[in-house]
Amino acid sequence: SQKIEQNSEALNIQEGKTATLTCNYTNYSPAYLQWYRQDPGRGPVFLLLIRENEKEKRKERLKVTFDTTLKQSLFHITASQPADSATYLCALATGGFKTIFGAGTRLFVKA
């Protein structure tokens, strides 16, 4: 069956460190993958999009990698700050460009 897996356990890191979040998928061949941030009581906010033919994408302190062989995307936040604390959602665009979201990983950055 098709599945998207993100770490269900929260990730706790110290301010200034790099946070790395993982998104694994099975039985999909996504055309592209997106990462969204969601704060409590709010809707998701788009962060980055990476296409199947791209290996890496950067935006300021954010970096996303996409390995279609491993069926995995890694999301990095460098020099993390307490304001980066949120839930981060991975989303795949499947055939027909239907967007499927993972359950998200909660990140806590401690000052």
Partner 1 sequence: EAGVVQSPRYKIIEKKQPVAFWCNPISGHNTLYWYRQNLGQGPELLIRYENEEAVDDSQLPKDRFSAERLKGVDSTLKIQPAELGDSAVYLCASSSLAGGRADTQYFGPGTRLTVL
Report how far residue 104's alpha carbon sits from residue 106's, in angstroms, rounded to the nearest whole number.
7
- Positive or negative, the CA dihedral 26, 22, 67, 35 is positive
Q: What is the DSSP letter of 18?
A: P
Report how far residue 45's alpha carbon sits from residue 2's, in angstroms, rounded to the nearest whole number.
24
Residue 36 Cβ, how far from partner 1 at the closest point, in Å? 8
Cβ closer to partner 1: 96 or 111?
96
Residue 16 Cβ, how far from partner 1 at the closest point, in Å? 29
Residue 52 Cβ, how far from partner 1 at the closest point, in Å? 10
Residues that bind partner 1 (CB under 8 A): 4, 31-32, 34, 41-46, 49, 51, 89, 91, 93, 96-104
Cβ closer to partner 1: 8 or 12?
8
- The runs of H, that is alpha helices, within the chain are none
Residue 31 Cβ, how far from partner 1 at the closest point, in Å? 7
Report how far residue 93's alpha carbon sits from residue 88's, in angstroms, rounded to the nearest whole number.
17
Cβ closer to partner 1: 15 or 52?
52
